[in-house]
Copies of this chain bind each other. A is one copy, B any other.
């Protein structure tokens, strides 16, 4: 089954808990999901965190001499350190030796490496980072993009995000006809700043997506939308706010619930149920963010990722590969321009 097995390149040096947690998550995914994992980084450091009885012949380590630190300026660091683990991991995808890459390191550096090494998909002006949020409806999720790649977005970028997000929602998240919304400050078509009004128009006219209208802040988690597009400034603020607010809420519950004698008794009885609540609110369950629009599958994990997040990120990457997300995004843009351009191989 070697040739059909999905191969994932993992930046083993990226993240607050690298390489230990990264490697642990990767090995679990290899065993449980049947993927091939390529651990990219310093072989010594990687070998040091392998479980005691590991058969080294069964672990694929791809040496990388360097790594990008969290406080480095991304673009210059990526250029200055061609042998950094994230660069080496991207090259594996570029050269066809891996199908996807995952990094929980410097997200700006991962993005820069993806852009420089893999390039953009034809028809896409700007790649976007998509993050999956849980919603009010237990069985539904919502994909928000962009959550940080582009601080200023032209309306046509938002339109491209909508097309890419719809493909991802349909083929990876399994939504038959994803409902697309534009993050805005009112429901009416004319609401918002200039960019929002023009983006609304473009989305309305695009026949490749199911645009249902503006989504206000209160609608984000309602479950009414499957994909919500916004510029990377608003999206990033929202993502980080949402991550933190779960903690705030849990803290309030933790403070108030065990108050008094009744409180202590009730809390003790409810322990398993409280654990389930924490799980549903917990962001780690949702893996990483997908970088959509570059010519390769890239998952950018949270800097604080531990083994379960890496495992989930690999699961996401595998889904994206298995369901040919790149090819499907491509086909949207090829079919659009087929009247004007000859396919590359017919010249």
Contacts and interface: CB of A to CB of B under 8 A. Distances in A.
A328 interface: no
Given A152-B194, A248-B221, A253 B266 contact: no
Interface residues of A, number: 61
A64 interface: no
Nearest to A241: B217
B234 A218 contact: no
Given A185-B236, A192-B233, A273 B263 contact: yes
A345 interface: no
A249 interface: yes
B185 A248 contact: no
Contacts of A75: none
Interface in A239-272: 239-249, 251-253, 255-260, 262-263, 265-270, 272
A175 to B, nearest CB: 19
Interface stretch (A45-53, A205-213, A274-282, A313-321): A274-282
A66 interface: no
- In the complex, which of the residues A233, A247, A262 has the most CB atoms of chain B within 10 Å of its own CB atom? A233
Contacts of A251: 136
- In the complex, which of the residues A151, A243, A258 has the most CB atoms of chain B within 10 Å of its own CB atom? A151
Contacts of A269: 262, 265-266, 269
Interface of A: 135-136, 138, 148, 151-152, 183, 185, 192-194, 196, 216-222, 230, 232-234, 236-249, 251-253, 255-260, 262-263, 265-270, 272-274, 276-277, 280-281
